[in-house]
Amino acid sequence: MKRPLRALAAAGLLAAASIVAVTVGGTASADTQICEQYGSTVIGGKYVVQNNRWGTTAQQCINATSTGFEITTLNGSSPTNGAPTAYPSIFVGCHYTNCSPGTNLPIQVSQISSAPSSINYRYISGAIYNASYDIWLDPSPKRDGVNQMEIMIWLNRQGPIQPIGSPVGNANIAGRNWEVWRGNNGGNNVISYVASSAIPSLSFDVLHFINDTRNRGAITSSWYLTSIQAGFEPWQGGAGLAVTNFSQSVNIGEAPPTTPPPGTGACAVKYTANSWNNGFTADVQITNTGTATLNGWTLNYNLPGGQQITGSWNATVSQSGSAVTARNISHNGTLAPGGTASFGYQGTLSGTYSSPSSFTLNGMTCTRS
C-alpha cells in the first residue's frame, strides 16, 4: 500500500501528512512502462501493478508485464535508518479507492476459507531493499486511506535495514521459521515476518499469516482483509528487481479450525490473588496443555466489578471496563507444549474481592488449575 505516513513519521512530520489518490493507467495488453509517481495499470484482467513512488521526488519507472513487473529506472535513495523511497508492487483488493477488477475484497476474515498465493522474484546485488508482501486489514471494509493493521512478509532483506518496531519472537508458517517484529509507524500497527535468508519463490496461504496475527491479539476475525500486495521497498538502488510471476486468490467459505475448540483443555490458567481493604495483587500462570508451540500469546478475561489494574510485570496488561487483555513480552512469548509463562499485576479494590471465573488464550477456552 502507498505509505506516505511511514515516511513522514520517520522524518517527524506526521502531522503534515497528505494522501494522494492513485491514478489508473489502463490495462496492459503488452509490456507497459509506468513512470508517473502513483501510476498504475491492470494486468491479466485481475491484478493492478502500481509504481507507488511515495518517498522520493526522483524518477522511478517500472515495466508492467503480463505476469508481474520490473523496476527499470530508480534514481532515488534514502538513508537506511529511515523510510524507503517507494513500494512498486502488484496487488489484489482496494488501495486508496483503486480496486482491482472483480475483487471480492474487502471481506471479513471470518468468511475466508483460504487465500492461496504464489510468487517468483528476481533479485539483484549491490542494492539495499526488501522484497515483501503487504497484507492490509481494518475493522471496517475500507476502500480508501490507511488501514489500521499492516502485515509485512519480508522474503528478502538486503543491507542494514530493519522492520518497524522490535523483535517479539518467532513463528513457523509456510514450512519456514520467521522472526516476528511488532511496532507502529505513526499511522498504523505493523507486524513483520522476516525470513532468515532470501526466498526467490514461495507458494503459501496468506490466511496462515493472518491467523498468526490474530492469535497475537492484533486483530479479530471480524476485521476485514482489504488488499494483498507484493513488491519491493528500495532504499538505495534497485533497477532490475522484478516480480516475474504473481498469483493470489481469496476463497470464501467455512474455514477449518486453526485452534482447538473451547473446552478441549489446550491451555490452563492458575490465578493466585492476595487482597486487602482497598487493593489486591494477582499472579497468573499460563500453561500450554496442547500439542503445538504457541508463538506469542494473548490472555483475555473479565475482572469482577470494583477492580482496577494500576501496574503489571512480565506482560503488557490493559483494561477496558471489566475486560482485561494480557500480552506476552519479548522473553516469554514462546510456549512449547507443557511450557508455562507467568505474569502479575496490582490494582485497587472497591467492595468484596473475587477472582475472574474464565480465561481464553489466543481464543481458546482454558481450564483452571
Q: Report how far residue 121's alpha carbon sits from residue 103's, in angstroms, rounded to the nearest whole number.
A: 24
36 is catalytic: no
Is the pLDDT reported for residue 362 higher than 90? no
Greatest mean pLDDT among 295-304, 324-333, 335-344 lies in 335-344
CA distances from 190 to 149, 252, 344, 356 (A): 6, 25, 27, 31
Helix (H) or strand (E) holding 48: strand 47-50
Q: Is the pLDDT of residue 300 over 70?
A: yes
Determine how β-strand 316-320 pairs with β-strand 323-327: antiparallel
Nearest of 277, 272, 296 to residue 356 by alpha carbon: 272
Say how many C-beta atoms besides its own lie within 10 A of residue 81's C-beta. 10
Copy the grid coordinates of residue 263. 473446552
- Determine contact, residues 366/267, Cβ cutoff 8 Å: yes
- Look over the chain and give the mean of its residue pLDDT values, rounded to a whole number: 87
Catalytic residue among 36, 70, 179, 233: 233
Nearest Cα neighbor of 275 from 335, 353, 200, 329 is: 353
What pLDDT digit, counting tens, does each position of 136-184 carry?
999 999 999 899 999 999 999 999 999 999 999 999 998 899 999 999 9
Q: Is the pLDDT of residue 2 over 70?
A: no
| Per-residue model confidence as pLDDT tens digits over 178-208 | 999 999 998 899 999 999 999 999 999 999 9
Q: How confident is the model at residue 36 (pLDDT cuts 50, 70, 90)?
A: very high
> Which helix (H) or strand (E) covers residue 10, if one does?
helix 4-10
* Mean predicted confidence (pLDDT) in 258-274: 68
pLDDT exceeds cutoff 80 at 22: no
Tens digit of pLDDT for each residue in 303-318? 998 999 999 999 999 9
Cα-Cα-Cα-Cα dihedral of 92, 225, 328, 269, to 10°? -140
φ/ψ (deg, to 5) at 8: -70, -35
Distance of CA 293 to the CA centre of its chain: 20
Confidence of residue 17 (pLDDT cuts 50, 70, 90): very low
Residue 137 CA to its chain's centroid (Å): 8
Per-residue pLDDT tens over the stretch 72-126? 999 989 999 999 999 999 999 999 999 999 999 999 999 999 999 999 999 999 9
Q: How far apart are CA 222 and CA 230, in angstroms?
A: 24
Task: Give pLDDT, residue 55.
Answer: 87
Task: Write down the pLDDT at residue 30.
Answer: 58
